[in-house]
Amino acid sequence: MSPAIDLPLPAPATLPLPSRQRFARPQGVPASPGEPVHVRDGRTLHLRPIVPGDVAAMRRCFARLPAEDVRRRFLHPMSELPEPMAQRMCRIDPACEAAFVLMDETRAPAEMRGVGRIYVDEASDSAEFSVLVERDWSRLGLGALLMGHLLDECRRRSLAELWGYVLIENRPMLEFCRRLGFTTRLIADEPGTAQVSLRL
Ligand SMILES: CC(C)(COP(=O)(O)OP(=O)(O)OC[C@H]1O[C@@H](n2cnc3c(N)ncnc32)[C@H](O)[C@@H]1OP(=O)(O)O)[C@@H](O)C(=O)NCCC(=O)NCCS
């Protein structure tokens, strides 16, 4: 009888997973892992695409915002971010939307510190943007970082223009846009509001 050969058994981790596990995305895990952002004051955030599981963090972020920033972001006062609206904002349609979040993962649960998003308007070959950075994290280049990702996304989609509405009292945002090369024009039928736009 030939001697028995000790064949090494494959380590469990090398066994292929069933396809339903290989391709399934566990709930709450982002579609893309994103990237760390080393903020110039020494803190670290995590930049990634928004996911449906971000609703609670988005609502907590909204609750921390001063009324002025809520009005500047949404162009009118809002006392709370209703859950259905937050769900709609976190469950994007990738065909016509993109949104990136800056997450503070030093907190449990992780806190949202910034959001940038675009809505594509295919008819005009353009996208409308919005951007928000929490005050405690402002003037650190994070708004510009989010805008850079939105611009990359617009170029990836071969869009011709990125534009947004800004209250004319929102001097920081107008300065922010001016520095990025946007042009500003007042909107005749929306007193107090300007449209900023950048040809791509
Ligand atoms: C506007 C906003 C997004 C800027 O975000 P931010 O992370 O502070 O921006 P950055 O640090 O990238 O700043 C980039 C440049 O914008 C300009 N800027 C930003 N905040 C400014 C301020 N308070 N005053 C003057 N200029 C300002 C500056 O030129 C700045 O560059 P600098 O810091 O080197 O001088 C943020 O203040 C915000 O979320 N505001 C409330 C929401 C809002 O107004 N959204 C816009 C409507 S969609």
Is it the case that residue 19 has pLDDT exceeding 80? no
Q: Which atom, in ligand 1's list, is nearest to the CA of 129? A: 48
Q: Which of 28-32, 61-65, 102-106, 116-120 is predicted with the least confidence, judged by mean pLDDT? A: 28-32
Q: Quick check: CB of 115 below 6 Å from ligand 1?
A: no
What's the average model confidence in pLDDT over 147-156? Answer: 97
Rounded (10°) CA dihedral 184, 187, 191, 195: -40
Residues of the domain holding 143: 33-199
Q: Cβ atoms within 10 A of the Cβ of 172, count?
A: 13
- Which residue's CA is the closest to the ligand 1 atom numbered 17? 176
Cα(51) to ligand 1 centroid in Å equals 25
Confirm whether 1 is domain-assigned: no
Q: What is the arithmetic mean of pLDDT over 164-182?
A: 97
Is residue 26 one of the residues assigned to a domain? Answer: no
The answer to whether the beta carbons of residues 15 and 62 sit under 8 Å apart is: no
12 inside domain: no
115 lies in a domain? yes
Q: Worst-scoring range by mean pLDDT, 7-16, 31-40, 44-53, 189-198?
A: 7-16
Task: State pLDDT tens for residues 58-108.
Answer: 999 999 999 999 999 999 999 999 999 999 999 999 999 999 999 999 999
- 17 lies in a domain? no
The verdict on the CB of residue 176 being under 6 Å from ligand 1 is yes
* Alpha-carbon distances of 95 from 78, 89, 90, 99, 171, rounded to whole Å: 28, 14, 14, 12, 33
- The answer to the question of residue 105 being in a domain is yes
Q: Is residue 22 part of a domain?
A: no
Residues ≥6 apart with Cβ < 8 Å to 184: 166, 174, 177, 178, 194, 195, 196
Average pLDDT estimate for 109-132: 97
pLDDT at res. 33: 78
The mean-pLDDT minimum among 16-20, 103-107, 108-112, 141-145 falls in 16-20
Query: What is the reported pLDDT for 5?
Result: 41
- The CATH number for 123's domain is 3.40.630.30
Tell me the C-alpha distance between 68 and 42, whole Å: 27
Cα of first residue to Cα of last residue in the chain, in angstroms, is 77
* Distance in Å, CA 143 to ligand 1 centroid: 6
156 in a structural domain: yes
Most distant CA pair in the chain: distance in Å?
96
* Stretch among 2-6, 34-38, 121-125, 162-166 having the lowest mean pLDDT: 2-6
Number of independent structural domains in the chain:
1
**Which carries the bigger pLDDT value, residue 29 or residue 114?**
114
| Closest listed residue to residue 99, CA positions, set 130, 144, 65 | 130
Residue 23 predicted with pLDDT over 60: no
Q: Which of 193, 157, 196, 167 lies closest to 180 in space, CA to CA?
A: 196
On average, the pLDDT of the chain sits at 88
The dihedrals phi and psi of 118, each to the nearest 5 degrees, come to: -130, 145
Q: Hey, what amino acid is at 173?
A: M
Which residue among 117, 138, 151, 190 has the greatest number of ligand 1 atoms within 8 angstroms of its CB, and so is best to mutate?
Answer: 138
Q: Is 131 in the pocket of ligand 1 (CB under 6 A)?
A: yes
